[in-house]
Structure 1
Amino acid sequence: MKTPPAERFDVVVVGGGPGGSVCAARLAQRGVRVLLLEKERFPRFHLGESLLPGSMHVLEAIGVLPTLEATFLQKYGARFHDDVRGRRDRFQFDGAWRGDRDHAFEVPRDAFDHVLLKNAAILGVDVREGWTVTGAIREGERVAGVFATGPEGEARIDAQFVVDASGRDALFAHAARATEKIVDLDQTAIFAHFEGVARPEGKPAGDIDIVIFRESRDARPNWFWMIPFKDGRTSVGAVVSRAWIRERRARLDASADETTALFAAAVAASKSAGELLSGARMIWPKARATADFSYRVRDLVGEGWVAVGDAGGFIDPLFSTGAHLAICGAKAAADVLAERIAASSLRGGAEEHAALRAWEAMLRGGAETFILAVQAFYAGPLMEAIFAENKHTALRRSITSLLAGDVFTDAVWLRDTRLRLVEMLAR
């Protein structure tokens, strides 16, 4: 087989989602020659439609914040509903410990991801859609580029670094068989878009609603997300356990679409969800589902490569962490790679290894905090803390800070919160 002629870039980014587009944009801002290869053509649908204030500084740094302000619904907080005990609470982001960003955005991902991809191109990234990466180029143990196929045929791309932003395809992790499921997070999400979902007035109109429903007070919680969009649509999803799916599946009408019927069963099981959706209409012909979405990967870095976004793992969507970790991790990775490329005489070796591992430790620290929080929620103690009637100020601020995504810090409140989450899981 004829070897295609090689192209040369400083960095090739595999994937054009938030992680890939943000990383590429930041690298271009730092004067790095970047190629971004995306297998699909944008815009395209994706889950993960609620952003967090903790990543707004990154979006501001790459120049897209004014576009987001003009295009998407502002999100000032999160509302929690407990069906079994009739409890409610709202957390407003300006009540976080840091509190310097009072809102994020609710974003249909087809539009949001397209904004980020176009911004990367404006900043000088060579963006190519419809290109699939077929393998890595290696020089010994080091990744030195990729092979890809696209509309113009086959290509060989040589690069100092490869950024794996390929999402759940996880180019390097799957090749090394280095993914693992996260304990107790084997949920299934069933979802659709609606119009006519009830909303409050004023700033709370942009809140995400988390509606918790259970068989009894002591049962493991299932929950709904309800994410409002500026155009009147609302993304609604039920996150349920495997056991719940098995039990409900046995009762379904065999002639009905199974996924849509399971979604309807979840709505019927939740008083609050039923009330919010009572005047609403599903605008998709059928509900959709995704299962077993929580996983880790063994390494986020290697010789000549890093993994950002879902290519580095994914956590249960309870705290809307997917896009947040992708955006924050991608910007930080880009800054590290730009510094290593500037020190071109120091390619490889101990300094590069230390810099990449420090980035990995930072990102894992934030992700592990979210994992602890999600596990403590499903176990019960964090859910009880969320709904506690007389929360002292420090507890309310700490919960709000988690919901805002402020996990990349060494602040006293975060160290204390991590210890509390570990204690909750030990009960």
Structure 2
Amino acid sequence: MNTENQHYDVVIIGAGPSGAVAASLLVKRGWQVLVLEQQLFPRFSIGESLLPQCMEYLEQAGLLELLHSNAAALGFQFKNGAAFQRSGEHASIDFTEKFSQGPGTTYQVKRADFDKCLADGAAQQGAEIRYQHTVVAYHNLAEGAQLEVKDQQQNNYKVTARFVLDASGFGRVLPRLLDLEQPSNFPVRSAFFSHFKDGIVDDSFDRNKILINVHPIHKDVWYWLIPFSDGTASIGVVAEPTRFAKDVESLSCLNDFIEQDPFLAQLLNKREAIGAARSISGYSANVKSLVGNNFALLGNAGEFLDPVFSSGVTIALKSASLIAPLVDSHLRGEEVDFVADYSKPLQSGVDCFRTYVSAWYDGRFQDVIFYTEQNHQVREMISAILAGYAWDTENPFVKQSERRLTTLVALCQS
């Protein structure tokens, strides 16, 4: 590779969903785009249960048909909602019955294959992607930035760009390099998870929905069960670190928690783990700013809340959808207010999700979900948010999320 300085209109750090969508949107507008990805695809990632709102952003980027055409072969599972279980209480949300306009169905995906599918689509549209290339330094320039990059042979080279997008997810490259990180206001939590041959034979189990299961004793501990169409599933448990025994192997820890819940233990009594289990801790994150001189942070590189309502990929794709036309205008010499037109709109939806995530952990939103006398119209408004439509301010539960939810909780608990 030519190690002399190379120049692009846009350099994107990370080839995950937000990077692939942003790259696709920008090459469609005629810009020369380079994507630098530290890992080799396919590679494992969590965040496997998409929300229907994602489908609009994939369609904007010209990637939706690629997803549809590969879904069956890759074991992706049609998804139309979410199911909930708490000590014998059952509830479900159908995303096709929602307040907001837009798709009501999506997929549960194996992220290694999903991410590679989108990245391949972005490359087919004209984005250049370099795998196993790591950004190690960032320097501001008068009209852009210079990145120092290390390739797979540990050779260093430099790239300049008129604009840089950080789509590095949990890698959080620019937040680390530019000292943008700040603590999340969420408690530190850990997750243990793995893929299984699930062996589920219960005919009442709906594979078209993610199952969110509350621990029978600790309401702040929950499990995900994400079925795929090939008889496998992603299973995980989330709790504050003090709930987990120290020095216990990850799969043993996960299996022990599954056995603590009678419903899950019975449903999954024929499960077989596929490979080792994994764990992550302290994944909730925040930053001082989502934008700076000639750069912006996308998706998890900016802020990650919590996996409970599968909002991560939706926020990532929303960020790509919002930023691409602004970068396009900026590159054309137009005046752009990235804070007003990117940071604030993106944050409004993140804050809506935050309301419901926080209320899930303190039990208030759980009481709403399991309430048996739900108003149909309110139910559709809540369904829209859980389907990812957290930016639809026509929905009162989006526009005034905290106040409306507090009122609803009071009604359900009275």
Common fold by TM > 0.5: yes
Q: Give matches, 1:9-24, under 5 Å.
A: 9-24=8-23
Task: Describe the SS at the equivalent of 2:78.
Answer: strand
Secondary structure at 1:266's aligned position in 2?
helix
Helix, strand or coil at the partner of 1:111 = helix
Please say if 1:173 is aligned against 2:156.
Answer: no
- The answer to whether residue 82 in structure 2 is matched with residue 91 in structure 1 is no
Contact 2:27/2:127 (<8 A) preserved? yes
Residues in 2 aligned to 1:181 and 1:425: alpha-carbon distance in whole angstroms: 29
What corresponds to 1:75 in structure 2?
Answer: 79
> Distance in 2 between the 1:292 and 1:45 partners?
19
Residue 241 of structure 1: how far off its partner (Å): 1.8
Aligned to 2:369: 386
Query: Are the equivalent residues in 2 in contact too, given 1:79–1:89 (CA < 8 A)?
Result: yes
- Aligned mates of 1:183, 1:27 — CA distance in 2: 33
Could you tell me which residue of structure 1 aligns to residue 293 of structure 2?
303
User: Could you tell me which residue of structure 1 aligns to residue 253 of structure 2?
Assistant: 262
What are the Cα deviations for residues 49-93 of structure 1, in whole angstroms up to 9, with x where unaligned? 01000111111122222232231221011000002xx21011011
Q: In 2, Cα distance between the equivalents of 1:199 and 1:356?
A: 51
Q: Tell me if the contact between 1:375 and 1:425 (Cα under 8 Å) persists in the aligned partners.
A: no
Partner residue in 2 for 1:281:
272
Gaps of 5+ in 2: none
Distance 1:243 1:122 in 2: 46
Contact 2:140 2:293 in 1 (8 A): no
- Change over 3 Å in CA distance of 1:300–1:44 after alignment to 2: same
**What per-residue deviation string (whole Å, max 9, x for no partner) do you get for residues 336-359 of structure 1?**
10121122xx5xxxx33x134421
3-state SS, counterpart of residue 299 of structure 1: coil
Give secondary structure in 1 for the equivalent of 2:207: helix
The separation in 2 between residues aligned to 1:124 and 1:18, in whole angstroms, is 16
Deviation by residue 1:199-227 (Cα, 9 ceiling, x = unmatched): 66699322100011142xxx442111011
Q: Which residue pairs with 1:148 in the alignment?
A: 149
Using the TM superposition, give the Cα deviation of residue 258 of structure 1 relative to its aligned residue in structure 2, in angstroms: 2.4
Judge conservation of contact 1:227–1:235 (CA < 8 Å) in 2: yes
| Paired position in structure 2 for 1:42 | 41
Is 2:35 the partner of 1:33?
no
Deviations 1:95-142 (A, max 9, x none): 1102531201110011000011101111101111111111112226x7
Q: Aligned partners of 2:129, 2:406: CA distance in 1, in Å?
A: 43
Displacement of 1:237 in angstroms is 0.3
Is the partner of 1:114 in helix, strand or coil?
Answer: helix
Classify 1:143/1:175 alpha carbon distance in 2 versus 1 (closer, same or farther; 3 Å): farther
Residue identity opposite 1:368 in structure 2:
D
Matched, 1:411 2:410: no
Shift of 1:175: 2.7
Cα distance between partner residues in 1 of 2:344 and 2:255: 42
Aligned counterpart, 2:62: 63
Aligned counterparts of 2:101 and 2:140: Cα–Cα separation in 1 = 45
Give the match's secondary structure for 2:270.
coil
Which has the higher mean CA deviation after the structures are superposed, 58-67 or 142-151?
A: 142-151
Q: CA deviation at 1:158?
A: 1.1
**1:117-266 pair list within 5 angstroms:** 117-139=119-141, 143-151=144-152, 153-198=155-200, 204-215=206-217, 219-245=218-244, 248-249=245-246, 257-266=248-257
Provide the aligned length of Structure 1 versus Structure 2. Answer: 403
Q: Please point out which of 324, 330, 336 is paired with 2:320.
A: 330
8 A Cα contact 1:382 1:424, kept in partner: no
Aligned mates of 2:183, 2:202 — CA distance in 1: 38
- Counterpart code for 2:308: L
379-388 or 413-422: which moved more? Answer: 413-422
From the superposition, tell whether residues 159 and 244 of structure 1 become closer, same or farther in structure 2 (CA, over 3 Å): same
Shift of the 184–149 alpha-carbon distance from structure 1 to 2, 3 Å rule, reads closer
The 1:151/1:294 distance shift into structure 2, 3 A limit, reads closer
Residue 341 of structure 2 corresponds to 358
User: Does 57-66 or 308-317 show the bigger shift?
Assistant: 57-66
Higher helix content, 1 or 2: 1
Secondary structure of the residue aligned to 2:331 is: helix
Runs of 5+ consecutive residues of structure 1 not aligned to the other structure: none
How many Å apart are 1:396 and its aligned residue? 1.1
| Residue matched to 2:350 | 367
Residues 1:313 and 2:303 aligned together: yes
| Cα-Cα RMSD | 2.3
Q: Which amino acid aligns with 2:272?
A: R
